[in-house]
Amino acid sequence: MKIAIFASGSGTNAEAIINYFNKTKTAQVSLILSNVPNAFVLERAKKFGIKSVVFSRSELNSNAIVALLRENSIDFIVLAGFLWLMPANLVAAFTNRIINIHPALLPKFGGKGMYGMNVHKAVIDAGETQSGITIHFVNTNYDEGSIIFQAACNISANETPESLAEKIHALEHKHFAKVIERMLLAK
């Protein structure tokens, strides 16, 4: 099976997923797509010899990206730090085959603007004792798709957004690829 990863940033989750599937052979990451021309995830794609494509919002909202995914025989889409809302045509073309990872325990701390340090700061400011990750299906709304998996971590009394981010990254790297594999094997 072929996986496409959409990412807007550095791509640490993308690299963890690539490394995982390079060892298991259940699937392969065949395409990296980014809306940010200088995103470091593109360097990671180059390092692994994976085709990468930079696209605009108009290309995403047209049928160009759906056509590109089909041309590359993509079976499954993973959003790994991708910050744009998925358009209805793409969600319809890959129903129940697009997943996202969110750096908090949804349904709390989700929605537009809830990404990266914004999430971690909001969690700490709200006085939460736990945070974690949520892997969920993607629909046409931010962070509202059905939840597939969650993992939690405790928040210490002196937690900072940066220290919480480290805990969340550890959970992401531990669980994301395994959940993807489980979903692919169930297909």
Please say if 102 is a catalytic residue.
yes
- Three-state DSSP at 108 gives coil
**Options 102, 120, 136, 173, the catalytic residue:** 102
User: Cα separation of 48 and 22, whole Å?
Assistant: 10
Spell 5-43 as b/e; 16+ CB within 10 A means b. Answer: bbbbbebbbbbbbbebbeeeeebebbbbbbbeeebbbbe
Sole residue written with tokens 């160009």 = 64
Sole residue written with tokens 């531990």 = 174
Six-digit token pair at 113? Answer: 């603007």
- Three-state DSSP at 61 gives helix
| Spatial contact of 4 and 75, defined as CB atoms under 8 Å apart | no
User: Active-site residues: which are they?
Assistant: 102
